[in-house]
Amino acid sequence: MTNPKKAAAHDQELVALFEGLDTPGVSDAMDKLGLHGQALGIMPLDNYARPIVGPAFTVKYVPAATPAGTVGDFIDDVAEGDIVVIDNDGRTDCTVWGDIMTQYAGLRGIAGTVIDGVCRDVGKALGDGYPVFSAGRFMRTGKDRVEVESVNTTVAVGTVRVAARDIVVADANGVVIVPRERAREVAETARKIESVEAAIRERISQGATIREARAALGYHLLQRKA
């Protein structure tokens, strides 16, 4: 299966800015720039070896009406390389992501899923190596309990507001949301911070004490607001 919805050139350009960066570095850059983007309480399903980066395809769930609406058909509209970001209001009593969604997302080249809520069928996600980040796991279905209210609107995930097409960076440490309009600035700042930290690691490998290396390179000021 191929996804007819390909990544847009401007999305690919922004994603490429974060190549080789991880969430700690991006988080430090956000702190320095006075931005809040760390998704509190949203944890990786596995200790993923590499970060995933992609534009957010946002989905807002609400309690189901009578009759209940749909719970997953939106995925046909998600482009290759996107990261599905689901706001289920932090609910842990029913899931909004399971094995069928995992399989379909993987087949269509979707980069991963972030959920302010829980997932299920975790064995499928782990077996396929499909990245999922959530507030936990629980087996009870969301069908007839929740329904999709909107897609590609502003949602909330782990205390962070996420607008459609914001840049998501996620790895074994968690999830950071970068406002799209600040993506270049954040990536540039993160690379500067990482270059200083690399220099510190080099100095201590050559025998410097950590105090000496940090003092010489201004470690304690790296993430402080400019």
Tell me: the pLDDT tens digits for 61-73?
A: 999 998 888 888 9
Query: Length of the chain, please?
Result: 226
Please report which helix (H) or strand (E) contains residue 112, including its range: strand 112-119
pLDDT band for position 142 (cuts 50, 70, 90): very high
| Residues 32, 225 contacting (CB under 8 angstroms) | yes
pTM, rounded to two decimals: 0.94
Write out pLDDT tens, residues 166-198: 999 999 999 999 999 999 999 999 999 999 999
Which candidate, 157, 156, 164, places its Cα nearest to that of 43? 157
Does residue 1 have a pLDDT over 80?
Answer: no
CA atoms of 63 and 69, how far apart (whole Å): 10
CA atoms of 203 and 213, how far apart (whole Å): 6
Phi, psi of 108 (to 5 degrees): -95, 5
Write out pLDDT tens, residues 90-132: 999 999 999 999 999 999 999 999 999 999 999 999 999 999 9
pLDDT computed for residue 23 by the predictor = 98
pLDDT computed for residue 46 by the predictor = 98
- Our measurement of the distance from residue 101's CA atom to the centroid of its chain's CA atoms, rounded to an integer in Å, reads 17
pLDDT above 90 covers a percentage of the chain that reads 90
pLDDT above 70 covers a percentage of the chain that reads 100
Reduced to 3 states, what is the DSSP secondary structure of residue 13? helix
Higher-pLDDT residue of 213, 57: 57
Which candidate, 63, 206, 79, places its Cα nearest to that of 143? 63
Does residue 141 have a pLDDT over 90?
Answer: yes
The contacts of residue 172 (CB under 8 Å, 6+ apart) are: 44, 46, 47, 48, 49
Query: Could you give the count of Cα atoms lying within 13 Å of 103 in the half-sphere of its Cβ?
Result: 6
Write out pLDDT tens, residues 146-162: 999 999 999 999 999 99
Tokens representing 152 are 């590609």
Buried/exposed code over 16-51 (b: 16+ C-beta within 10 A; e: otherwise): ebbeebbbbbbbbbbbbbebebbbeebbbbeebeeb
pLDDT computed for residue 205 by the predictor = 95
Reduced to 3 states, what is the DSSP secondary structure of residue 174? strand
